Each structure stands twice: as C-alpha cells, then as structure tokens.
Amino acid sequence: MSINKNEGFPLTGRETDIMAILWNLDKPMLASEIAASGDQLSINTVQAAMKSLLRKGMIEVADIVYSGTVLSRTYRPTLSRQQYMVSHLRQYFQSLGNDYSTVSLVSALLDNDKDERIIDELEEMLRQRKEEFKESE
C-alpha cells in the first residue's frame, strides 16, 4: 500500500483511539467490537470515525460477516502503526522546509537517545539492508 495516498494526517483523537484498537488487536473487527473495546466510545462515534478513516484510506473493509443475524463489515488498518508514524513524521518534517531526509530524521531521533544498544541495532539493520541491495542487483 502506498502511504502517500493517505491525505488525512493528522488523525483526530477518536480516529487515533480506533486505529490503536485495530493495531493492538491485529485482527479485523466490527464497529460494535471496536466500540466495546474502547473507553467511552459509543457506536455512533465509532461509525462516524470509521467513515472518516475509510475516506482517508487508513482502514478498509476486510470482510462481510454475520453479527448475529445481520450482515456486518469488519475493518482492518491499511498500514501498520510504524508505517503511520513514519509517514506522519515525514509529512511534519517536510512541512518545515525542503531539508528533510532520512538521515536528518534519524539524526534528530538519535540526538535524544543515548542508549548504545540502539546504535548497535541500527548498525545491524544497515548491514542487512546493504546485503539486500547487493542481492537485488
């Protein structure tokens, strides 16, 4: 899925609540299940937010299933929590000016993280990524 098609950033508070429920449970859910899972989420609020999330391309209909004797839609996210966060950060940095790059983003994040294990993990990820590039050539 192309993250760039999602024009709806940032999400509202309720939309974020619903996305968190979908990401945490990692299975398609009915609107009624989402309402039952969230604190103070009414079915009407969930349904309104789901329509907005559908328009924004953040969720999709996963299936049509029986809920009791009624056919209902189940929904799933179209991107992971990590993909959303990266896309959101990219949009934010790009809105600040044209000097956005992956290096500048990682650098800014590392400035606030003094854990050597993070650097070790990044080095391993970079090594693996280089190997993937070599294999694809």
Q: What is the pLDDT along the chain (137 residues), one digit of tens a residue?
A: 444 444 446 789 999 999 999 999 989 999 999 999 877 889 999 999 999 999 999 999 999 999 989 999 999 999 999 999 888 887 777 777 766 677 877 887 788 888 889 889 989 999 999 999 999 88
- What stretch(es) of the chain map to CATH 1.10.10.10? 3-77
Q: How far from 30 is each of 14, 40, 86, CA to CA, in Å?
A: 16, 17, 27
> Distance between the two ends of the chain, CA-based, in angstroms?
24
**Which 8-state DSSP code applies to residue 38?**
S
Q: What is the pLDDT of residue 5?
A: 47
Residue 2 to residue 22: CA distance in whole angstroms: 19
Contact between 74 and 65 (Cβ < 8 Å) = yes
3-77 maps to CATH 1.10.10.10: yes
Contact between 72 and 65 (Cβ < 8 Å) = yes
For the CA atoms of 116, 118, 124, 128, the dihedral, rounded to the nearest 10 degrees, stands at -160
Other beta carbons within 10 angstroms of residue 79's beta carbon come to 20
**127, two tokens:** 């090594």
